[in-house]
């Protein structure tokens, strides 16, 4: 079952490379409640030495770091089975 973290900072403590996550965002639409495809997900590429998380978008080619300004958004950690069941 998917697990919701209240902040990205809370997730950092248990983050593992290969985890599949969904960020909630700050817009009108909550990303966690509206996961409609694998394109809404990110994979944790690696954990930096300072604890920051390096992400890669689904089918993305480059990694990026979440800015500290966005660490207060909710995050959904998907299980491999839930990710597999999402449409492309």
Instruction: Pull the structure tokens for residue 66.
Output: 């979440």
Give the domain extent around 67: 3-85
| Whole-angstrom distance, CA of residue 20 vs CA of residue 59 | 12
The pLDDT assigned to 4 comes to: 92
Is 45 in contact with 55 (CB distance < 8 Å)? yes
The pLDDT assigned to 29 comes to: 66
The pLDDT assigned to 62 comes to: 94
The pLDDT assigned to 10 comes to: 92
Nearest to 40 by CA among 19, 24, 20, 22: 22
Count of domains forming the chain = 1
**What CATH number is associated with residue 44?**
2.30.30
Q: 49-87, pLDDT tens digit by residue? A: 888 899 999 999 999 998 888 888 899 999 999 999 999
Q: 10-32, pLDDT tens digit by residue? A: 998 899 999 999 988 877 667 77
């Amino acid at each position: 079952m998917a697990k919701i973290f209240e902040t990205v900072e809370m997730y950092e403590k248990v983050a593992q490379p290969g985890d599949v996550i969904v960020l909630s965002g700050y817009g009108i639409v909550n990303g966690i409640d509206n996961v409609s495809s694998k394109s809404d997900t990110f994979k944790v590429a690696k954990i930096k030495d300072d604890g920051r998380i390096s992400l890669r978008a689904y089918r993305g080619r480059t990694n990026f770091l979440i800015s500290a300004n966005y660490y207060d958004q909710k995050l959904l950690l998907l299980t491999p089975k839930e990710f597999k069941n999402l449409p492309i």
